Amino acid sequence: MDGIRPNLTDPAVLDALSHPVRLDVLSYLMSSGPATASECARAVGDTPSNCSYHLRVLASHRLVVAEESGDGRMKPWRATITGFSTDLSDSSPDQAGVDSMLEASLQLDHQLAREHLRTRSSLPHEWTKVDAYATYGLLVTPSELAALIEGMDAVIRPFLAATRTDAPNGAEPAHLSVTAFPRPRFGRS
């Protein structure tokens, strides 16, 4: 499957994605395929009625669509995108919307990491021996950091669940987050 990765700049869409449950539901649908509100709720640890509400919000911004079901009762939802970016110019009037969405994304990352730590002991050893938490204090220019992120993206992109068609037996969903930002107070000057 080819990737559909729009650059989201619409303030209303960014506002809709400024909620961790919506981000999690959208991520679930992008990586796992169509699912009902009940299936989404089980996957993200929420209630079916709340997930149904969040799915309708995502649908109002064309990020998900409802599919026809065979039985007419359970309505599966499908993501219309496989990822997204939020590259705005520095003078964009909605940088606050991007910041709010990024804050929700970081909140979700931290929530997922805490949940992993709570349930880590129940995972097979083959998974716990490869989970990772690493931080690095870099000394880079903005262009070097951009090149590093671009290189990491090129390495990671073939493994994206939303577009990977060659996953071997035993492949499971995994969460990988990377943050990169300057630390001006750490400066040497």
pLDDT, position 91: 58
- The predicted model gives 79-97 an average pLDDT of 79
pTM higher than 0.85: no
- The predicted model gives 14-26 an average pLDDT of 94
pLDDT, position 1: 47
pLDDT, position 75: 86
pLDDT, position 171: 93
Selected residue with higher pLDDT from 87 and 96: 96
Q: How many CB atoms lie within 10 A of CB 38?
A: 14
* Ordered DSSP codes for the chain: ------B---HHHHHHTSSHHHHHHHHHHHHH--B-HHHHHHHHTS-HHHHHHHHHHHHHTTSEEE---SSSSS--EEES-S--B----TT-TTHHHHHHHHHHHHHHHHHHHHHHHHHGGGS-HHHHTT-----------HHHHHHHHHHHHHHHGGG-TTT---PPTT-------------GGG---
User: Rounded to an integer, what distance in angstroms lies between the CA atom of residue 89 and that of residue 78?
Assistant: 30
Residues 6+ apart with CB under 8 A from 54: 19, 21, 22, 25, 46
Half-sphere exposure at residue 155, Cβ-oriented, CA atoms within 13 angstroms: 8
For the stretch 118-163, pLDDT in tens is: 999 999 999 999 999 889 999 999 999 999 999 999 999 999 988 8
pLDDT, position 89: 63
- The predicted model gives 20-49 an average pLDDT of 94
Q: Which CATH class is domain 11-186?
A: mainly alpha
Tokens of 65: 């669509």
pLDDT, position 107: 93
pLDDT, position 182: 86
Residues 6+ apart with CB under 8 A from 150: none
For the stretch 38-85, pLDDT in tens is: 999 999 999 999 999 999 999 999 999 998 877 667 789 999 999 998
The chain-wide mean pLDDT, for the chain, equals: 89
Band of residue 9 on the pLDDT scale cut at 50, 70, 90: confident
Per the listing, tokens 């359970």 go with 74
pLDDT, position 154: 94
Angle at CA 131, nearest 5°, toward 32 and 82? 25
Residue (of 120, 125, 114, 27) closest to 77 by Cα position:
27
